[in-house]
Amino acid sequence: MNIADLPNAQAVFVHDNLEDMSTAVAQRIAELAAQAIAARGVFHVALAGGETPRRCYEKLRRLSVDWEHVQVYFGDERCLPKGDARRNDRMACEVLLEHVAIPPANIHAIPAELGARAAAAKYAAILENAAPLDLAMLGMGEDGHIVSLFPGNPATDSTAVTVPVFDAPKPPAERVSLGMGELNAARQRIFLVAGAGKRDALEQILLGKSLLAARVAAAEWHLDRAALPG
């Protein structure tokens, strides 16, 4: 079983550890930002939540990026009050966005505090000005889920730009997520996958199981060695 044979992968990069992976992905984001700004005057990026991207964001804030021309979006959000410590936008702000010279108007939080349906509708309207995204950053759960799209949840089959998510298996049960079509429409998709807890999901994908992560087209996968199947 060769990790380079990961289905739908545009490229697969294996790093010795989370630190090396974070450094490489931060540099890649900075490169993509420079290319997009040179070509189109703006870089539209959807940030990933969770713990894995945290170190990458810490490294990214130290790199040379023309933040005035970066527009930041989010792949998903938990329906919690503004400022709640469990929200993805709070983590991204504390770790990255509060440390760089990005205009506040360039940060487009998902208004998840309004509830899943209202927030999804409002965020779809915001994203009309961003399509297609230049980069969608992605993590992968131990069950192969991405953003807030979970196995068996009706939201995974929606063709909408943003989807309300109910009955998520992890709290809170109500969330908002970019839809699978919007993710696949992005010019670039980058996965950050680290830790032994991801081995089983990667093995299932290699064996041809249609986990949600495997449905992301032409993605650039960055893995640490701990995540590699045995």
The two tokens of residue 22 are 């974070």
User: Where do the structural domains in the chain lie, given as residue ranges?
Assistant: 3-227
The whole-number pLDDT of residue 1 equals 63
pLDDT band at 129 (very low <50, low <70, confident <90, very high): confident
| Fold adopted by 3-227 | Rossmann fold (3.40.50)
Q: Does pLDDT of 157 surpass 80? A: yes
The whole-number pLDDT of residue 155 equals 96
Give residue-wise pLDDT tens across range 24-47.
999 999 999 999 999 999 999 999
